[in-house]
Amino acid sequence: MSRRLTPVKREQLIQRLRELGFEGPFFGRKHQVMRRGNQTIRVPNPHHDEISVDLLSHILRDSGISREEWLGED
């Protein structure tokens, strides 16, 4: 049975990224960023209630995090 990605709140995104080794968020130019080693990803601004599945998928792809890793299935 496969689990699907679901929309998440910004705070949940930040918490999970920290669990996966990212630090931050830090102030960037237009967006805050989080870092893991020399990898930097942008974090959406807090003006949306939830981060859509499409945006979450894009963030995961940019950060090199698999769906299974995000869902804690590995």
13 SS3 class: helix
More confident residue, 67 or 47: 67
> Is it the case that residue 57 has pLDDT exceeding 50?
yes
CATH label of the domain that carries residue 63: 3.30.920.30
Residue 20 lies in a domain: yes
What CA–CA distances, in Å, run from 47 to 9, 67, 69? 11, 25, 27
Residue 1 lies in a domain: no
For the chain, how many structural domains are there in total? 1
Residue 49 sits in which domain range?
Answer: 10-71
pLDDT value for 74: 63
> Is it the case that residue 1 has pLDDT exceeding 50?
no
Residue 61 lies in a domain: yes
More confident residue, 30 or 24: 24
Query: pTM for the full model?
Result: 0.88
Residue 30 lies in a domain: yes
CA distance 73 to 51: 21
Residue 4 lies in a domain: no
pLDDT value for 8: 95
